[in-house]
Every structure is written in C-alpha cells, then in structure tokens.
A and B are shown apart, each in its own frame.
Chain A
Amino acid sequence: MATVVSRPAKRRIVGTPSSWLVWGVVAFFLVNLAGVVGSVLVSSFGTRWFGTWLPEGFTGSWYASAWQEFGLFDVVWVTLQVSLLVVLISVLIGVPASYVLARRDFPGKKIVYFAFLLPILMPPITYGIPLATVLYKYGFAGNASGVVLANLVPSVPFVILTMTPFIEQINPSIESAARMCGAGVRAMFLRVLGPLLVPGILAAAILVLVRTVGMFELTFLTAGPDSQTLVVSLYYAMSAAGIRAQQSVDAMAVIYTSTMLVLLVVALRYVNPTQLVARVKETPAP
C-alpha cells in the first residue's frame, strides 16, 4: 500500500500523519481479520495445538472425520437445494414487482414499498419466531419447505430493492421504441427488456444466494434435523463443543468458509462489492 496514489490529483495518499493513522487502523483491522480466519484454518490442519504458536504437526484427517461425523454431504446438499430454490422463487416473485415499482406511480405505492422494506429492517428473530410458529401450525416447519419459505421473507424484498433501481435506470423510451417498432407486449418483454434485465437479475440472484447460505437465524428457527443448512449445522457443532474435537469443528468451519468464498468470487465477477451490502448509485467513471 505504500505507493498508493490517487490518479486524477496525483495526491499521495501516504505522507500526512492522518494518513498514517488511517492506514494503521486498516492494517490493524486486516491483521486481526487474518488472525481470526487464519487461526481457524491452521487449527483445522493441526494435530495437537496447546499454547504454542503453531500446532505440533499438520494433517488433513480432520476434514475426513468432519465430513463423516457431521454428515456433511447431506448438509451441503440441503444447503444447495434450499439456496437455489430461494433464489429461483425470489427472482420470479421479485422481478415483476420491481418492474411495477420502477415504472408506475399508483396510490399506496409508498405503503407497498414500506411493506417490502420492513422484512429487511426487522431483526430476523423478531419475525422469525412468530413465523416459525405459524409454519409449524401449517406443517411446513421442520423440513426443507419451511426453511425455504422462511428464507424467502428477506430474500424477496431484497430482490425487489435491488432490481427496482436497476429497472429505473433503463430508459423507459426503450420500451416505447420497441412498441413503435411493432413489438407486442410479449416480444417487448422477451426480446428487449428481458436481455437488458439479465445482468441485474444475475447480480440479485447471486446476492440472494450468498445471503441465504449465510442466513443463520431463520434457518435455525425453522429447520428440522434433516433440513439444516451448513451454517446451522456448524452452530450446533460449536455449541456442543467438548463432544467433538475442536479441530473437526474448525475443519467444518473452513468448509463453510470456502463455500462462501467460492460464492463470493463468483459474485464479484458480476457485482460491485458495494452491492453486497446495498445497492447505491455508483459514480460514473471519470
């Protein structure tokens, strides 16, 4: 980072005391972050590790035992199924709704928008507990369908909130132009709007995927023994510490992290990092 220079003004970022302070804080944060991730990683490959800087030896056997002990194949399979279903359904429900929100003004639009915002604003536990109760009442909870339904609650609004600005930035006269060229409603959506929406849908879908794989609370409240996702399974393994070897829990955590990292790398090919947290209008390239 020492030679970091901002291009337009040729202003050196290092130099002033305030810059040193800022970079120091960033570096401290990153070192600790590396420590947090690294300690799990090292531990998962270590044999015995008590009070020393590094374990006595290294082994890959914890992964094999974690894979078997926790039945990770099933867990990963459930995680995959649940996440993909959530992505598919939330896109199918969310995209048409965002089209309406982006293109139309109608009475009560603000209320509808607020209703879509609330599930994202509310802590998952707040609505998760009554939701789980309702799902149990109708026989959905305890199996994968309940997990999917619960995860859709924040996902559908997330798709809507991501896609609405995306559709808004598509010039509405492109739709008018298609109609003036003689395209009916169907052709307009399939041949003009559809292809234009693909990048946005892809980005929203990947973000929903990342969030669903990482979603703990809602899955935790609605999953049965056979419908746990990776993150819930990891939580149970950790809270039952002492029963399992620490290292095999670490191995499982590494498996979880690698899954997330793979998703992240894929996601970053399609979306700007800031979109991972929210969609804010980006500055144009200078």
Chain B
Amino acid sequence: MSSAGAAPPGRFGELRLDGVGRRFAGKDALVELDLTIRAGEFIALLGPSGCGKSTALNCLAGLLPLTTGSIWQDERRIDTLPAEKRGFGMVFQSYALFPHMSVRRNIAFGLQMRKLPRAEVRRRTEEGVRLVQLEEHADKLPGQLSGGQQQRVAIARAVVLEPSLVLMDEPLSNLDAKLRLEMRTEIRRLHQSLGLTTVYVTHDQEEALSLADRLVVLRHGRVQQVGTPEQLHARPVNWHVADFMGFRNLMELEAAHVSGTGVDAEVAVRGEGLTLLGTATAAVSAGDRVVAAVRPEDVLVVEDAGGDNRIAATVEVVEYQGRELAVEVRTAAGRALHLRTERRLAPGDEVALTVERERLLVYPLAPGEQAPAPLVDAVTT
C-alpha cells in the first residue's frame, strides 16, 4: 500500500459502531446502533424494508453523515472521514457500474484512484477479472452484460482494492431465483478465500442465515437481536423477529399456567378453544397476554386426536412443493395455521395437529403492545 493521503487505512482488528444514529427530516431512521465487527467476520444486517439497514450501511460507508454516535476503526475515529478516504469497498443493489467504461476499466477505476503504479493496476485488474471469471467479457461495456455478470463486475470492482471492509447492499435482489442461489455461493466462496470483512444488507432471512457469521436484525431503526444464525433460527428474541425468521404461525393467547421460572419455563397457553404447552422465552406469569409462535415445519400431522398439544383443523389450501406440501388449515375458532407435511392432504380433510413443547415459543406481550394479526382479520381475509 502506498503512503499517499488517499491510501486505505489498511487492516484493522475491530470496527466499532458506537451509538450510531441517523435522522431524516426529524424522523429516526436508525437509533443507537452499537456493533463491534471483528476482522474477517461476515455480518448480515437483516430486516424488512424501511428498517434502517441501508441507512446503517450508508452511514458506515460514509455516504450519509451520522446524526449521533461515532465509528471507530481500532483506536482511530473514522466517521469524520469522507467516503473516499475510508478505504472500504461497496457493492450496490443496482450494481452502479460506470456505464461508459469497459468491465476492465470499471475494475481498474479504484486502483487508479489510489494512484498505484500502472503495472500493478494492470496486474491486479486482471486478477480481479479472473476472480469473477469474466475474462471473455473484459472489454465489454456493462450494458452488454447480463444481470449476473454485472453483479460479478460490481463485486470484482469492490474486492480488487482489498478493502478493509466490504459493504454489500442487497446485491442479489435484482437477480432471478436461480442466479441468486449461484451468486450466494460465489459470495460465500469469495469470503472464505479472501477473508474480507463483510457487512451485508438483505431483507431475505434465508440469504442472511446462509451467508453470515453473525446477524443483526433491525426493526424501525432499532436493533432487535444480534446473534449467530443458529441463535436467530432457534430463539428469536421477540415475536417480531420470530415473524421475520419464518415463524409463520403467530397466535395471541393467554398464559394459563407456568411451571418453573424465567426463560425455558414450561407455559400452558390458552385461547381460541385451544390449550397448548410451550416454552417461555422470557419471564411469563399466569394471566399474561402472550404470543405463541411456531414454524410451519414444526406443526406435525398426527393420527390420534387425543393427547397433549392437539389442534383439530380443516385443510383449506394445499400447495405442491416437491416432496412436501405446504398446507393452510383452519382451526374451529377460525385461526389459519401453516404447516408442511409429506402426507398427501386434500382440501376439506379433517386433521389432528401437534406441536412439540420446545418448538412452541411463548413471547410475553407488554401491556398495550400490538399483537400479531388478530383472529377477526384472519377470518375476513
């Protein structure tokens, strides 16, 4: 690395976001984000659109000034540096390739901006072209490439600088399903071989789970949960995160009986003509309003209607999904539930369902807190 003023600050041990916040026209887009990113880590910022994940990424990139907080690279404060001096690389959702430059010149652009010797620019550009397997297309303009190829150029352009941090803003959302899977593998492969610290923004939980070492789930500009894919998959911290992580069945019920205390206590929940046993995710006491959450794949179809944790329901909609069926059933009280099964069910079938106690997560609802889709809505829609 050269020692010019524009030179990248180089590798770091850790990058610390300290109470980072951003307001737009008086509205909070991001509130008090605290996060420490270790070198080599792959972090995914996950959340529905408008949750502040892109704002966080742009603040980190230097494309948006912070309203509050600071960003530290080891002991060096970097949030006061403009984007071009931070030495980060970025891949944009729209690719943002320079349309008037060939693939090769797009990839070389950042190296030229660093004022590297010509020979090194050439060598590293060719390396970048090879890395994303675009040798045949190196002299084409971005407009002549397919979406997937453009995305490869965008990735090569960002990583060829060997940046201390790569930022990716929903890089796969403009690709079709098949290409998305291929590129996902490619991004993972690149991360494994180059070891570049990466912050990846997405609204696709599957993408985040498969790529990231750690996930940060955001909602309304606030961090909900930070954890490994396993932690997020198994134990979402609240029902909003659960909803987002694929717990499609959410029921507002009442805690009838609690055995044990605190987290992992066994809770009997009641309502909508059902009584179910579940696992508390936080302190719950009898009489509390709670949300019970369960994934479709954890709702099991059983033969006998008697026994614990049984739900009687009628099959309404069946979607064929290869070996499995995705089934929507309705309980006697009118609650729609989703499940996946290998049994060949048909609309109109009466079925008995069960849920294992460990798989039914019970979230206490704060007084006045909004509950997930109430029953009346489920009936009318």
Direct A–B touching, Cβ under 8 Å: yes
Residues of chain A whose beta carbon lies under 8 Å from any beta carbon of chain B = 171, 173-174, 176-184, 187, 191-192, 195-196
Q: How distant is A131 from chain B, measured CB to nearest CB, in Å?
A: 39
> Does B109 sit within 8 A of A, measured CB to CB?
yes
The 8 A CB mask of B84-96 against A (1 = contact, 0 = none) is: 1101111011101
Q: How distant is A185 from chain B, measured CB to nearest CB, in Å?
A: 8
- How far, in angstroms, from A183 to B92 measured CA to CA in the complex? 16
* Contact between chains at B100 and A180 (CB < 8 Å): no
Instruction: Please name all residues of chain A whose beta carbon is closer than 8 Å to the beta carbon of B99 when the two chains form the complex.
Output: 174, 196
> Does B305 sit within 8 A of A, measured CB to CB?
no
Instruction: Please name all residues of chain A whose beta carbon is closer than 8 Å to the beta carbon of B63 when the two chains form the complex.
Output: 176, 179-180
* Contact between chains at A176 and B83 (CB < 8 Å): yes
Q: What is the predominant secondary structure among interface residues of chain B facing chain A?
A: loop
> Does B211 sit within 8 A of A, measured CB to CB?
no
Query: Contacts A184-B6, A192-B98 hold; do A177 and B84 have CB atoms under 8 A apart?
Result: no
* Contact between chains at A180 and B94 (CB < 8 Å): no
* Option from A177, A182, A195 in Cβ contact (under 8 Å) with B100: A195
- How far, in angstroms, from A179 to B98 measured CA to CA in the complex? 12
* Option from A173, A182, A195, A196 in Cβ contact (under 8 Å) with B110: A182
> Does B114 sit within 8 A of A, measured CB to CB?
yes
* Contact between chains at B92 and A182 (CB < 8 Å): no
* Contact between chains at B113 and A180 (CB < 8 Å): no
* Option from B62, B93, B94, B109 in Cβ contact (under 8 Å) with A181: B109
* Contact between chains at A173 and B113 (CB < 8 Å): no
Interface pairs (6), CB distance under 8 Å: A173-B93, A173-B94, A176-B83, A177-B90, A180-B167, A181-B110
> Does B157 sit within 8 A of A, measured CB to CB?
yes
Instruction: Please name all residues of chain A whose beta carbon is closer than 8 Å to the beta carbon of B161 when the two chains form the complex.
Output: 181-182
Chain A residue at minimal CB-CB distance from B90: A180
* Contact between chains at B94 and A182 (CB < 8 Å): no
Chain A residue at minimal CB-CB distance from B113: A182
Chain B residue at minimal CB-CB distance from A196: B100
> Does B242 sit within 8 A of A, measured CB to CB?
no
* Contact between chains at A173 and B96 (CB < 8 Å): yes
Residues of chain B whose beta carbon lies under 8 Å from any beta carbon of chain A = 6, 8, 61-63, 82-85, 87-90, 92-94, 96-100, 109-110, 113-114, 154, 157-158, 161, 167
Instruction: Please name all residues of chain B whose beta carbon is closer than 8 Å to the beta carbon of A173 when the two chains form the complex.
Output: 92-94, 96
A-B CB proximity, top 10 nearest: A181-B110, A182-B113, A177-B96, A173-B96, A180-B90, A179-B83, A173-B92, A179-B84, A195-B100, A174-B96
Q: How distant is A199 from chain B, measured CB to nearest CB, in Å?
A: 10
- How far, in angstroms, from A180 to B61 measured CA to CA in the complex? 7
Instruction: Please name all residues of chain B whose beta carbon is closer than 8 Å to the beta carbon of A181 when the two chains form the complex.
Output: 84, 89, 109-110, 113, 157, 161
Q: What is the predominant secondary structure among interface residues of chain A facing chain B?
A: helix
* Contact between chains at B96 and A187 (CB < 8 Å): no
Query: Contacts A182-B113, A182-B161, A187-B113 hold; do A176 and B92 have CB atoms under 8 A apart?
Result: yes
- How far, in angstroms, from A195 to B141 measured CA to CA in the complex? 14
CB-based A-B contact count at 8 angstroms: 70
Chain A residue at minimal CB-CB distance from B160: A181
Instruction: Please name all residues of chain B whose beta carbon is closer than 8 Å to the beta carbon of A183 when the two chains form the complex.
Output: 84, 109-110, 113
* Option from B87, B89, B96 in Cβ contact (under 8 Å) with A176: B96
Instruction: Please name all residues of chain A whose beta carbon is closer than 8 Å to the beta carbon of B100 when the two chains form the complex.
Output: 195-196
- How far, in angstroms, from A181 to B97 measured CA to CA in the complex? 11
Q: How distant is B348 from chain A, measured CB to nearest CB, in Å?
A: 45
Instruction: Please name all residues of chain B whose beta carbon is closer than 8 Å to the beta carbon of A191 when the two chains form the complex.
Output: 109
* Contact between chains at B61 and A177 (CB < 8 Å): no
Chain B residue at minimal CB-CB distance from A191: B109
* Contact between chains at B109 and A178 (CB < 8 Å): yes
Instruction: Please name all residues of chain A whose beta carbon is closer than 8 Å to the beta carbon of B62 when the two chains form the complex.
Output: 179
- How far, in angstroms, from A181 to B159 measured CA to CA in the complex? 10
* Contact between chains at A174 and B98 (CB < 8 Å): yes
Q: How distant is A181 from chain B, measured CB to nearest CB, in Å?
A: 3
Q: How distant is A132 from chain B, measured CB to nearest CB, in Å?
A: 43
- How far, in angstroms, from A119 to B161 measured CA to CA in the complex? 49
- How far, in angstroms, from A179 to B85 measured CA to CA in the complex? 9
Q: How distant is A175 from chain B, measured CB to nearest CB, in Å?
A: 8
Chain A residue at minimal CB-CB distance from B107: A181
Chain B residue at minimal CB-CB distance from A173: B96
Instruction: Please name all residues of chain A whose beta carbon is closer than 8 Å to the beta carbon of B167 when the two chains form the complex.
Output: 180
* Contact between chains at A180 and B84 (CB < 8 Å): yes
Q: How distant is B175 from chain A, measured CB to nearest CB, in Å?
A: 17
Instruction: Please name all residues of chain B whose beta carbon is closer than 8 Å to the beta carbon of A192 when the two chains form the complex.
Output: 98
- How far, in angstroms, from A103 to B154 measured CA to CA in the complex? 23
